[in-house]
Structure 1
Amino acid sequence: MRILLAAIFAMSGAQAQAHEIWIEKDSSGPARIYLGEPDYPTPEGGDKEFHRLRAPQVFQTNAKEVIPVVRRSDHLEANISGKGDIRLRDDDIFAPEMGEDGKYAARIYYAKAGRAEIAPKLDFEVVPLEPGGSTFQILFQGKPTPKEGVRIIRPDGWLKNIKSDQNAQFTVPTDISGRYLLFVDHNEAVNRQLDDKAVSKITHVTTLTFVQP
């Protein structure tokens, strides 16, 4: 069942234009992978940028065991066997773009569905402190990133912006049943050549979805 958004929330222009990748997985059926703006209702036929979601690296515990995906009208599907969290990584969505400072910036996307595992498998990941718990920690390359902004969308469409603490931890109020969606960005200063462009910043974008019984 898609995440229901009951209202449109006032946000900054940058946030309103942001695209994320997220995974939805129920107790049965395939995992569904979306690219879009989850703060807003998805247009019929999918987000206008959905065509950019071509071949994400989808896996469970081993990044080398990539799970194939099937394209649908507004999402990708991955047939997942067994239990466990589902993850993906994609660095081929948007080309590096020049900012107001005249320097290029790139984005790398990560996503996870589930909160059973407490050890990260992605470079940038939100992990629960205990399996199935509601307190999480944000890890970049295995290390905590304190004071990160976190956006939370509840099953009823209620949205809240919070910050992680000095230990990169935060707690989600899971007082209603359904699917929760979390977003976190982390900026990394770099000096790399990507797509023949000198990139000075990479924004790592990670999402986590989980179902509260």
Structure 2
Amino acid sequence: MKKLLIAALALGTASLAQAHEVWIERGANGAAQIWLGEPELPIPAGGDPAFPSLKAPKLVGATAAQTRGAGYIEVALPPGDVRAWDDDVFKPWDEDGKKAGVIYYARSGRSEAKAVMPLELAPVAANGDRFVLTRDGRPVADSEVSLVSPGRWQLALKTDASGQVALPALHEKGRYILKASVKEEGDFTLPAGKVAILHRTTTTSFVN
């Protein structure tokens, strides 16, 4: 019975980690809001049940106080692109007989045509509709990318040989989210311990 419970808990962690994303969007007051959840699904009142696992995401190139809201962490930042990452959201789980973990990367805005984080979806041209997925600055070809609309429909895309993906015509007004993931195997150290499988997940949100 104890082994079954441990297995169920491990499966639950794996499912949460692989189904969830961290993303950033601007609130009505202009502050950056860092969310954890499934952006293609309606957000429950008070936020996603896993939100308490998002404790202290690290801002890239900025320092500001973090305030917890109803399902998001709010940070007062000036206008412009915002980036954050977190390698300590979910504890490692068992996957294919190995320990696995996840690192989340998130970006809001498309005014800067450059990638800064280890895994990032950046516009090829400022405010453009073509994005490039890069891993440590190198394009990631033939990789799945998903686009989530303001109405929460989801469109499956794929990067080309140059790591780029072109968005379709966007007729719906509001916040869109691009998301992608890569899986790596090796020897990695996360705050919660060593893992042999590392999932990296990245999102870029922008307003149309």
**TM-score normalised according to structure 2 size:** 0.86
Given the superposition, is the C-alpha separation of residues 135 and 52 from structure 1 closer, same or farther in structure 2, using an over 3 Å criterion?
Answer: same
Alignment of 1:27-106 (within 5 A): 29-59=30-60, 62=61, 65-81=62-78, 83-99=79-95, 101-106=96-101
* Deviations 1:75-108, CA, capped at 9 Å, x for gaps: 1101012x32000010010011111x21011100
CA distance in 2, matches of 1:17, 1:145: 20
Shift of 1:156: 2.4
| Compared CA separation, residues 185 and 15, structure 1 to 2 (3 A) | farther
Q: Tell me how far 1:175 sits from its aligned partner.
A: 2.3
Could you report, residue by residue, the CA deviation over 1:48-77 in whole angstroms, capped at 9, with x for unpaired residues? 110011100123xx2xx3322100121110
- Given candidates 179, 198, 201, the residue that maps to 2:197 is 201
Unaligned runs of 5+ in 2: 1-13
Counterpart Cα distance in 2 of 1:175 and 1:194: 38
SS of 2:48's partner is coil
Aligned length: 194
Deviation at 1:173, TM superposition (A): 1.6
Task: Check conservation: 1:19, 1:37, Cα contact below 8 A.
Answer: yes
Contact 1:68–1:78 (8 Å) recurs in 2 = yes
Q: Secondary structure at the match of 2:120?
A: strand
Root-mean-square deviation (Å): 2.1
One-letter identity of the residue aligned with 2:139: P
Report the 3-state secondary structure (helix = DSSP H, G, I; strand = E; otherwise coil) of the residue aligned with 1:51.
helix
What residue in structure 1 maps to residue 10 of structure 2? none
Q: Does 1:115 align with 2:130?
A: no
Task: Give the partner amino acid of 2:157.
Answer: I
Q: Secondary structure at the match of 1:45?
A: coil
| TM-score (norm. length: structure 1) | 0.84
| Cα offsets for 1:35-56 (capped at 9, x unmatched) | 0111211111111110011100
**2:52 aligned counterpart, secondary structure:** helix
Equivalents in 2 of 1:92, 1:79: separation in Å? 22
Structure 2 counterpart of 1:175, from 148, 170, 183: 170
Distance 2:23 2:50 in 1: 14
State the alpha-carbon separation in 2 of the partners of residues 182 and 92 from structure 1. Answer: 22
Cross-structure match for 2:142? 147
Q: In 1, distance between residues paired with 2:132 and 2:89?
A: 26
Letter in 2 for 1:141: D
Would the aligned equivalents of 2:40 and 2:153 in 1 still touch at CA under 8 Å?
Answer: no
Bigger mean CA deviation after superposition, 117-126 or 132-141: 117-126
| Structure 2 counterpart of 1:4 | none
Q: CA deviation at 1:187?
A: 1.2
Distance in 2 between residues matched to 1:20 and 1:196, nearest whole Å? 19
Deviation, structure 1 residue 121:
1.3
Conserved 8 A contact 2:145-2:157: yes
SS at 1:133's partner residue?
coil
Q: Which has the higher helix share?
A: 2
User: 2:5 maps to what in 1?
Assistant: none
Counting aligned pairs with the same residue, the percent is 36
- Name the amino acid aligned to 2:69: R
